[in-house]
Amino acid sequence: MPELVFFSGTMDCGKSTLALQIEHNRSARGLVGMIFTRDDRAGEGKLSSRLGLVTDAVEAMSGMDLYAYVVGRMSQGDRVDYLIVDEAQFLASEQIDQMARIVDDLDLDVFAFGITTDFRTKLFPGSQRLIELADRIEALQVEALCWCGARATHNARTLGGEMVVEGEQVVVGDVNPPAAEVAYEVLCRRHHRRRVTSAAARASALSPDVLPVDSA
């Protein structure tokens, strides 16, 4: 039976790499997929991995009806055997509903990839809806690590090198940017809660065992 599968994890845990691997494996068996993405680091209409792999994709713009788009392409004679949707956390809730309809009405597998929570530890609307609707939720097996060596579970946004917990939910950035004011870092819950980024730790000469005392 076709499924809606949500592959989730923090930033820097290999989601886009896995999406590209699934595309490679299925296309090598003669299947034809349709790839969607939103706000990829490589630019509009691209699905890219931090390993340097990149492929063309359909940009899932705000207000776009994914079900109608797929039906339209199939009506024109295009073959579609499955869908890959990267950066699914940025999609609207109704677009996730459309993905579920693609599975149920068109009998196509849909593989969605995305992070679950934002820099404020709040669920993205797209991720929340995927958790509610997905047939399966798969946690990525490649664990990203906090600067202290613990498993990273939270995404932190930095502005000018300082961690911030307020602002718009979606601001495109990346981990380890060459030179950008807005950047992201993955942290364990303890260091996210205490706002101790790798830069802050270096500046304070902290070790994982020497931590600020909670004020509350």
What is the CATH classification number for the domain harbouring 176?
3.30.60
Same domain for 149 and 135: no
Beta carbons of 114 and 15 less than 8 angstroms apart: yes
The pTM score is: 0.78
What is the CATH classification number for the domain harbouring 60?
3.40.50.300
Lowest mean pLDDT among 76-90, 116-130, 145-159, 192-206: 192-206
Catalytic one among 3, 23, 44, 87? 87
More confident call, 38 vs 170:
38
Same domain for 104 and 38: yes
Per the structure, the complete domain to which residue 198 belongs is given by: 144-216
d(CA 43, CA 144): 24
pLDDT at residue 56 in the model: 83
Determine whether 44 is an active site residue: no
Same domain for 123 and 42: yes
pLDDT digits (tens, 9 = 90+) for 71-100: 999 999 999 999 999 999 999 999 999 999
Max mean pLDDT among 163-167, 174-178, 183-187 falls in 183-187
Same domain for 112 and 29: yes
Q: Look at the chain and report how many structural domains it folds into.
A: 2
pLDDT at residue 45 in the model: 75
Same domain for 84 and 44: yes
Beta carbons of 169 and 157 less than 8 angstroms apart: no
The domain boundary residue, chosen from 82, 113, 139: 139
Q: Is 12 left (phi over 0), alpha (psi -120 to 50) or beta?
A: left
